Structure 1
Amino acid sequence: MFGGTFDPLHIGHLRSALEVAEFMALDELRLIPSARPPHRSAPQVSASDRLAMVELAVAGLSPLCVDDRELKRDKPSYSIDTLESLRAELGADDQLFLLLGWDAFCGLPSWHRWTELLEHCHILVLQRPDADSDAPEALRNLLAARSVNDPLSLSGPGGQISFVWQTPLAVSATQIRALLADGKSIRFLVPDAVLAYIHAHGLYRAVN
């Protein structure tokens, strides 16, 4: 599972997801748009718009797919709740992976019931070669006890942490929203279908 506000989804999200799916030979990689992210400000556009953009972006792009369960909940989008619901649908021995960027991983100690996450999944940290910060002290013991050098050697349904190196793509949703607000082009930063949707629905325009 790869969660996020996807406000909007961009090529960095998709490239990360596709690289991991291919490297790990995943049967399925679910992009899960969050409804009410507890650790950041509310998304700029509606849940239905964000969901539609993700659906357009991954159409026909197996094994990537969309899971809208967090948008159906009337409460903040806690990853532990999503993992518990996914785990209940899987076989006891099925591997489940939570994909996190380095910054999100470093923020884990502030997450709701974060110490329970590994009871349901493995964590794959998307690490870029240009990332040079250290993990916070609160995570060092966890990393020492649970980290595995080779992601392909992760065993069992969950419980371990590994790092997957990513191609650096300096693209962010914040940057894309700023460009759109300034009336500038975002072509080649998002899939063409997402670009068409944004223009058709007048999303992210500056409010005068």
Structure 2
Amino acid sequence: MQSVHPETALSELAALIKTWGRELGFQQVGIADLDLSEPEARLLDWLAAGFHGDMDYMARHGVKRSRPAELVPGTVRVIAARMDYLPPDAADPWAVLHQGDLGYVSRYALGRDYHKVLRNRLQQLASRITAAIGLLGYRVFVDSAPVLEKALAEKAGLGWIGKHSNVLDRRAGSWFFLGEIYVDLPLPVDQPTPGHCGRCTACLEICPTRAIVAPYQ
């Protein structure tokens, strides 16, 4: 890990990182530590129950998915970023489902390839951090490696994990992409967002294939 510029405290740098993130088009940026012991236990139980079906890649990398420092040695923090993809003035995304003469394309696929968009912007964010402090050890991820991104997003305060196992934001719902930067810089971490599901089970009840067999499963 490189030393932070003496005039830039880690807390000030963390605030700058979030400002730069918004300038680059992210709706929210947060910082998480690496303790994913609870999500790891849930992941192992989920795999043991066979809930991953044919997604063999979920079990392929062992616990590296939940141990960032084993995937990228030297990592001490994860910068998590959220980018919304449903415009606030978008037409009702469900209406077209009832029009049999129309094809339906998932909303996330209507724009540019999100892997490229997020990766480019995360690289720009990492470059700004490097310019501020000197050398920085980092690696950018956007659905490209075994990363427990939903758990990291929750720890970084980007939302809470709902009973359907997706990350939720009170305004954006779950209509957003996630990306991460693993860094070797001991930035101050953010507090997780408290859950707001309460007794609601709407996601379980509306699932057309009943794939959600129980809350959080």
Q: Which has the larger radius of gyration?
A: 2
TM-score by length of 2: 0.26
Q: For CA contacts below 8 A with separation 6 or more, give which structure has more relative contact order.
A: 2
Higher helix content, 1 or 2: 1
